[in-house]
């Protein structure tokens, strides 16, 4: 209850706020990568449909982009444990 000069409402505890922070950190960190991964896969599907003969190269590049974007969400996941 002794946060930096803050008075918490009745029934609200530090532990509760901490749990809320855990959820928020990961939830907010997942928004951007969620949109990004959607874009990566939609573009890759479009590319593969237009030029099926380059599907192999496209798939490799797709997983690369997916992995790089996913890292951001996972950093959020790890931070949620640290907070």
Partner 1 sequence: MQLALDLNVNEVFFWKAVAFAGTPFAINRVVLLMIFASVLCLAFFFLGSRKGAIVPKGFQTLAETGYLFVRNQIAIDVIGPEEGPKYANYLAALFFFIFFGNLLEIVPGINFPVTSRMAIPALLSGLTYIIFNFIGIKKQGFRHYFGGTLFPPGVPKAIYIILTPIELFSVFIIRPLTLAVRLLANMMAGHVLLTIFFIFSADFVAFKPSLPLGLMTGVVGAVLIVFELLVISIQAYIFTMLTAFYIAEAIHGHGEEDPSVSTEHGLSDSPVDAAARAAA
Residues that bind partner 1 in the complex, under the rule CB under 8 A = 53-54, 56-57, 60, 63-64, 66-68, 70-71, 74-75, 77-78
Distance CA 77, CA 29 (A): 8
The phi and psi torsions of 11 (rounded to 5 degrees) equal 90, -10
Q: How far is the CB of 54 from partner 1 (least distance, A)?
A: 6
Q: How far is the CB of 42 from partner 1 (least distance, A)?
A: 18
Is the Cβ of residue 6 or residue 82 nearer to partner 1 in the bound state?
82
Is the Cβ of residue 43 or residue 74 nearer to partner 1 in the bound state?
74
Q: How far is the CB of 2 from partner 1 (least distance, A)?
A: 26
Measured between alpha carbons, how far is residue 18 from residues 8, 81, 83 in Å? 13, 11, 8
Distance CA 41, CA 63 (A): 9
């Amino acid at each position: 209850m002794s946060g930096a000069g803050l008075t918490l409402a009745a029934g609200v505890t530090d532990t509760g706020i901490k749990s809320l922070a855990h959820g928020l950190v990961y939830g907010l960190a997942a928004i951007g990568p969620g949109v990004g991964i959607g874009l990566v896969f939609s573009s890759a599907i479009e590319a593969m449909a237009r030029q099926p003969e380059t599907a192999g190269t496209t798939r490799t590049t797709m997983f690369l982009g997916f992995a790089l974007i996913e890292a951001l969400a996972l950093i959020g996941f790890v931070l949620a444990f640290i907070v």
